[in-house]
Structure 1
Amino acid sequence: MNDFDDLLAANKAYAADFQFSGFDGIAHAGVAIVTCMDSRIDPLGLLGLKPGDAKILRNPGGRVDDLTLDALVVAVHMLKVDRILVVPHTRCAVASNSEEVLRERLDASAGQDTSWLTLPVTNGQAESLVADVRRVQAHPLIPDTVKVGGFVYDVDSGLLEQKV
């Protein structure tokens, strides 16, 4: 018995009707989505997209960190992305807790000091969203022709609201 048998069985069922063979890796809808790793978010589904339409970048809080910004540059120049959505969400743990609270919870769970670990906390989700959108727009390798928007996804209603 393998710890992953259930997932491997599900994968076999998925592969039995696999319809995406031969895709080229380009974002066919020209979209990149930066969002949180929260499992309540279905990035493609919430925008009516399907596999092959968008590049999805996920991290705690849906923040635009250095690695995310590098990935967006690659997406714009090599994968035909011309629209970028930055999408944090309601009831997000990193947006609704202080670093101190998150650090205490993480330390307790890990059983050790985690002060060396970077936590993507915010001093306010609205302010962080504006800063993240501006950071993408200001990058010298992301041309002005690329549209960048900031949105908040409501995990209780499924609605997306543009904020920036």
Structure 2
Amino acid sequence: MSSEFDDVLSANERYAEQFDLGGLKPVAARGIAIVTCMDSRIEPLDMLGLKPGDAKILRNAGARVTEDTLRTLVLSVYLLEVQRVLVLPHTRCKMASVDSDEAVHDAIYQTYGVDTRSLEFRTNNDQIGALRHDLERIRHHPLLPSGLPVMGAIYDVDTGKVSAVDG
């Protein structure tokens, strides 16, 4: 076992001693799926008044609606009682602060010598435009129910406030 993970394994031992979430059903008790960023400043359950078991949380860099996000939403709707979707990117997101995927590829290559051009990072410095595009991807996906409630919002990492976005 690697000592690089001793801190998290020790923390898990303490967590498991007080664990009280056993028996939760695998469905979204409040019927919501949240697509948000992997940024560690985001606590999606707390900030929306939810608790474990209430929602399905889908996280990726930039809170983008990727093919994998759509696949997971299809499963969530039909098998896990999701009845609505909130797409929730945030302020000061690295993925929304660069001009293009090419800039990210170049930065990684220049700093680490790793060619990442086989990956699509989905950067977009028009965060609201990207959010609206992603909302439409969900609304018009042929395998998701017509009329599925879908909403976009931006989470402010400096104030904790969530602001709805039309789209």
- On whether the aligned pair clears a TM of 0.5, the verdict is yes
| Range class of TM-score, shorter chain | over 0.9
User: Does the 8 Å contact 1:82/1:145 carry over to 2?
Assistant: no
Q: What TM-score, normalized to structure 2?
A: 0.93
Question: Residue 130 of structure 1: SS of its match in structure 2?
Answer: helix
Letter aligned with residue 35 of structure 1: T
- Give the corresponding residue for 2:16: 15
% identity of equivalent residues: 48
2:123 is the counterpart of 1:102: no
- Give the corresponding residue for 1:137: 139
Within 2, Cα distance between the matches of 1:84 and 1:45? 17
Unaligned 5+ residue runs, structure 1?
A: none
Letter aligned with residue 141 of structure 1: L
Measured after TM superposition, the shift of residue 97 of structure 1 is 0.5
Unaligned 5+ residue runs, structure 2?
A: none
Query: How many residue pairs are counted as aligned between the two chains?
Result: 164
- Give the corresponding residue for 1:80: 81
- Give the corresponding residue for 2:118: 116
Q: Map Cα deviations across residues 38-75 of structure 1 (whole Å, 9 max, x no partner).
A: 11111111101111111011111000010100100100
Q: What TM-score, normalized to structure 1?
A: 0.94
User: Does the 8 Å contact 1:32/1:72 carry over to 2?
Assistant: yes
Measured after TM superposition, the shift of residue 118 of structure 1 is 1.3
User: Does the 8 Å contact 1:27/1:81 carry over to 2?
Assistant: yes
Question: Residue 3 of structure 2: SS of its match in structure 1?
Answer: coil
State the Cα RMSD in Å. 1.3
Q: Map Cα deviations across residues 128-152 of structure 1 (whole Å, 9 max, x no partner).
A: 1111011101112221342100110
- Give the corresponding residue for 2:42: 41
